[in-house]
Amino acid sequence: MTSTTPSATTLGRPEDPAARLPLLDIRNLTVGYGEAAPSVQGVTLRVEPGEIVGLIGESGSGKSTVAMAALGLLPRSARIEAERFDVCGVDIRSASTRELNTLRGSSVAMVFQDAMGALDPCMRVGAQIAEVVKRHQRLRGAACRNEVLELMARVGLPNPETRARQYPHQLSGGLRQRAAIALALAGKPRILLADEPTTALDVTVQAGILRLFRRIRDELNVAIVLISHDMGVIAQTADRVAVMLDGSVVEQGSVEQVLLSPETPYTRKLLESAPSLDTEPARTEAGDAPVTGQHGSDPERRTDLMTVTGVTRRFRVKGRHITAVSDVSLSVKRGEVLGIVGESGSGKSTLAKLLVHLDKPSAGTLAMDGLDYTRLRGARARRFRDAVQMVFQHPAGSLNPRLKVGTSIREPMRASKVSRGDGEDRVRGLLREVGLPEGCGDRLPHEFSGGQKQRIAIARALSSSPDVVILDEPTSALDVSVQAQVLDLLDRLRSQHDLTYVFISHNLAVVRQVSDRVAVMYAGRVVEVGDCATIFANPQHWYTRTLIAAVPSTDPRHRNDGEGEAPRVGGSGAAGNATPPTDNAPACAFATRCPRAEARCWAEAPTLTEVGPGQQAACHFPAARGAVAEQGGS
């Protein structure tokens, strides 16, 4: 289904002459507020019917402003100037409120990042879609009902009859986004604006939503403007791409042209800084200090620094027990970078909290350098804390907004150890080390950008001279170019201070770039662990394969169009093919999604077993080595 001539497969709207005109015709659009520099400057963009146009850029580049302007949703204080600004033949600049209301929903619709925000939490999903169908298609009764069910089926909501009667909170994140898309399609729009529609979703769910976008384009001939910061998402979905920087489009063209042979240095920089699974991670020649991954000495000589043995953490939520981490055993070796990957809810962050002793396990032990710290309290716990530090995901949240950053950085140094003068010196030194001016210690956090705050958070983590730093999604909130800088910084600090990192992320490409070893978590368990290169080249657990296959390739030629195999390593598109032998929860949590699940997976929980040198997987039917090569070609 690599249809570049969508009209051939058009099923929906009958062709009318107006459909030949561009749906979105923007020429030289400038949007500004007050005296400040305009947030969008001289943007020219045309979207033809049945075309997917990707709008890519970093935060603050004006992507969303363009979309909001096209819907006439900018605040009144916005100054809009353009040579031409037509949406489906309506001039947005002079349209009345009534015209805009007709336009929105029936000609243009929007899909947002946060599907929960787009759906009314107090209304059944079906009723919400029916409301739009009634208003825009003027259908009543059974006709309306059928249309709603058809829409829901079209966006891939299983059992539409049942789902229509459910409330948004009863749907999972992916299904909720599908429902939001059905809602957007309910007015039979000719153009769909999607603003970061998959950013909040897990990578396996994202793959499905991206396929859905292409399908509705093919089936309904709807034009889609896809706004994203993710090169892979754009590469996998868009026909044409516009790259935005500081409010202007710096490069525009077909997806192959822009992503494979970018013309502007900015696009090249964006592509280079986005870690990808398609390219080998950047590594320097032997002899140089290694830039990323595969650090230093022979792994056999490394000793275990942290040992996690049979750790389980249960929470009681409203009388129900939830096992966030289940019987996890791991070791972190001195001087290595251990990557932990998994989707949301896999227990990564709970494990991180257990590792830094913010939380105590329900069962199992954690030890550092042979010292069991599972139940440490008081002064000894405090001494342990000097050795283990943590960096959190949200740079804004990890600094007290009312404390000077210097005070925050000095906090981990204990008063008894460091005198005031020495402390000041150390803070200056740390700031310099993380690439900030020495003198900025007496400023408040809000004076810094996101990347700078994360540098401060890193300086803070280093101030007690720790042995281990737990990094919980340290770059997930940052733009790709900033992410690249922070990853470089982390690597430099690691070699200078002999640090050990536990690097937790949902981003596989980043984990592959920085890690020596990788542990893959699913539903609270470690399902696969081993050397980074081995795991990515030859994943043995079916979940790992699914995960790797779902990461969108930044190469537009590798499109995963079918519902089936991905072009990368193995993988499975469809849900599990095995019919559950019982209604009980399976012993292997992945069995319901696993393409190889058999009765044994329901009956007997798999344990981590050696599947290759330096590689363990918890699977009864690990992918055989030969099969990988075979599938890789298909």
Residues that bind another protein (CB under 8 A): 36, 59-60, 356-358, 381-386, 388-390, 392-394, 396-403, 408, 411-412, 414, 436-437, 440, 443, 446-450, 452, 457, 460-461, 464
Closest distance between another protein and the C-beta of residue 318, in Å?
Answer: 16
| Residue (269 or 443) nearer to another protein, CB | 443
Cβ proximity to another protein: between 117 and 437 the closer is 437
Matching residue, tokens 């949007």:
31
CB-based contact 531:614 (threshold 8 Å): yes
Cβ neighbours of 410 (radius 10 Å): 23
Nearest distance, CB of residue 386 and another protein, angstroms: 7
Find tokens 């199992």 and name the residue: 364
What is the identity of the amino acid at 514? V
Residue 36: enclosing H or E segment and its boundaries?
A: none
Note whether 494 and 467 are within 8 A (CB): no
CB of 407 to another protein, least distance (A): 8
Residue whose CB is less far from another protein, 347 or 567: 347
Report the distance separating Cα 239 and Cα 514, nearest Å. Answer: 32
Least distance between another protein and beta carbon 390 (Å): 5
Instruction: Name the minimum Å distance from CB 467 to another protein.
Output: 14
CA of residue 407 relative to chain centroid, distance: 32
The nearer residue to another protein, 448 or 590, going by C-beta atoms, is 448
Instruction: Tell me the DSSP string of 290-330.
Output: PSSSS-SS-GGGPPEEEEEEEEEEEEEETTEEEEEEEEEEE
The backbone region for 201, taken as left when phi is positive above 0, alpha when psi lies in -120 to 50, beta otherwise, is beta
User: Closest Cα to residue 604, out of 588, 582, 585, 583?
Assistant: 588
Angle between helices 125-137 and 97-106 (to 10 degrees): 120
d(CA 362, CA 326): 10
Residue that has been written with the tokens 């992507």 in this structure: 63
How many residues in the chain?
634
56 in Cβ contact with 270 (< 8 Å): yes
Is 191:87 a contact under the CB 8 Å cutoff?
yes
Decide if 134 contacts 164 (C-beta within 8 A). no
Nearer to another protein, 144 or 440 (CB): 440
Nearest distance from C-beta of residue 447 to another protein, angstroms: 4
- Which residue lies nearer to another protein by CB, 358 or 575? 358
Q: How far is the CB of 99 from another protein (least distance, A)?
A: 32
Provide, rounded to whole angstroms, the least separation between the CB of residue 270 and another protein: 17
Closest CA to 85 of 45, 41, 40: 45
| Choice between 171 and 354, CB closer to another protein | 354
Minimum CB distance to another protein, residue 403 (Å): 7
Q: C-beta of 455: minimal distance to another protein in Å?
A: 10
Which segments within 1-128 are labelled E, that is strand? 24-33, 40-47, 52-56, 78-81, 84-87, 90-91, 108-111
Please identify, using beta-carbon distances, which residue of 58 and 147 lies nearer to another protein.
Answer: 58
Q: Which is nearer to another protein, 39 or 252 (CB)?
A: 39
- When the beta carbons of 457 and 510 are compared against another protein, the nearer one is 457
| Tokens standing for residue 265 | 């240095």
